[in-house]
């Protein structure tokens, strides 16, 4: 199965929490400092990103 997502949609799902962001993907919660980390996380889950 091919999984795709737009980078913009992933960024919209970030929730700001102080000086970090909370990002949830496929039931796993990530606390990240840099919004660009979303790309690496999505790719590690097998997503192909559309920009």
What digits encode the pLDDT tens for the residues 9-28? 999 999 999 999 999 999 99
Q: Which residues face 15 on adjacent strands?
A: 22
* DSSP-H helix ranges across 1-51: 7-12, 37-44
Angle at 44 between CA 15 and CA 10, to 5 degrees: 30
Average pLDDT, the chain: 96
User: What span, in angstroms and rounded, lies between the C-alpha atoms of 35 and 23?
Assistant: 9
Segments forming the whole domain that contains residue 43: 3-50
pLDDT (0 to 100) of residue 1: 82
Residue that the structure tokens 């990103």 belong to = 49
pTM: 0.87
Count of domains observed in the chain: 1
């Amino acid at each position: 199965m091919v999984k795709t997502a737009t980078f913009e949609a992933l960024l919209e799902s970030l929730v700001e929490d102080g000086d970090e962001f909370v990002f949830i993907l496929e039931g796993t919660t990530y606390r990240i400092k840099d919004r660009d980390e979303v790309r690496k996380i999505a790719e590690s889950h097998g997503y192909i990103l559309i920009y």
